[in-house]
Amino acid sequence: MNVVLAFVMFGIALEISVDDFKQLLSKPKPVLVGVFSQFLVLPALTFLLVLLIEPYPSIALGMFMVAACPGGNISNFISHLAGGNTALSVCLTAIATLLAVVMTPLNLQLWGSFYAPTAAILQEVAISPWQMVKLVALLLGVPLVLGMLVNYWKPRLAFKMAKALKIVSLLFFIALVFLALYNNREVFLDYVFYVFWLVLIHNLLAFFTGFSLGKLFGLNSANIKSITIETGIQNSGLGLLLIFTFFDGLGGMALLAAFWGIWHIVSGLVLAMFWNPKSIKTNNLA
């Protein structure tokens, strides 16, 4: 699964060029707001939500895991459908993927240790943050750099490869979600509605975070849409893989991340339809 996820990230990186990072230099404000929203504000608000709701410890840790992950690989597509700033979305995906090498393990460890029930799980599992940093670097950082290099040297080849790897990406994600639900089918049957409402609330909080920060910093409509979507569409595939690797597929964590992976596609498309119904109709007809 590690190798396949690395290939998936490589496929995403094939469509990212050095020019996509120019947005950071030419218009840094929206990029900085997006990174701030995704890696600082969302994990902090997730912690407050956990304190308020007090979910089961493994499910709470799953919420911290999802909040610690970078944006999902469909966020650029959703941003395009919604009429957002696609260039900003791609730039945020690239930067978030690089930052996730450090920020995902750091946020999980930090916020998980602040909440006593999840801190007990982290102590029991005894994960070395450095181990997780190394794995995330191999899964995200290395494929991102390699994919961008292919894009730079052989753009036509990168375009063709990206199309094929998109199918691999989709199949891999479906397999991960199925595996997570199958391995935890008893937990799934017992807590399906409980987890569904938690994911719904958490996902709405993520969208609200991105939207509110965009408004607060006076960004234009297209940038607000992209930051909202980048904050609300998380890479739950990475989260599931880390859960399988370091937490032995811990039931509540895996169930939460799997549900999030299904739901954020639905909620993202609904949000895009609300913001830009004409685009949805055009893409459906195409």
Look at the chain and report how many structural domains it folds into.
Answer: 1
CA–CA distance, 29 with 211 (Å, rounded to integer): 15
**Residue 86 pLDDT > 90, yes or no?**
no
Is residue 46 a contact partner of residue 202, using CB atoms and an 8 Å limit? Answer: yes
pLDDT on residue 175: 76
- How does the average pLDDT of the chain come out, rounded? 83
* Measured CA distances, 90 to 63, 70, 284 (Å): 25, 12, 23
Model confidence pLDDT, tens digit, residues 163-180: 777 777 767 767 777 776
**Residue 281 pLDDT > 70, yes or no?**
no
CA–CA distance, 221 with 261 (Å, rounded to integer): 26
Percent over 70 (pLDDT), the chain: 88
pLDDT on residue 285: 36
pTM of the model as a whole: 0.84
3 state SS of 71 = strand
Residue 248: CATH number of its domain: 1.20.1530.20
Region of poorest pLDDT, from 48-57, 107-116, 211-220, 268-277: 268-277
Model confidence pLDDT, tens digit, residues 7-61: 777 777 777 777 767 766 777 899 999 999 999 999 999 999 999 999 999 999 9
Residues present in the chain in total: 286
**Residue 282 pLDDT > 60, yes or no?**
no
pLDDT on residue 123: 85
What distance lies between CA 127 and its chain's CA centroid?
A: 21
Domain extent, residue 14, equals 2-285
3 state SS of 123 = helix
Going by the DSSP 8-state scheme, the letter that residue 56 receives in this structure is: -
Residues 146-167 have a mean pLDDT of: 80
Region of poorest pLDDT, from 72-76, 145-149, 181-185, 239-243: 181-185
**Residue 6 pLDDT > 80, yes or no?**
no
Number of other CB atoms surrounding residue 91 within 10 Å: 25
Higher pLDDT, 4 or 106: 106
Residues in Cβ contact with 147 at an 8 Å cutoff, skipping those fewer than 6 apart? 9, 10, 11, 12, 13, 14, 16, 158
Residues 201-206 have a mean pLDDT of: 96
pLDDT on residue 266: 87
Model confidence pLDDT, tens digit, residues 231-246: 999 888 788 888 888 8
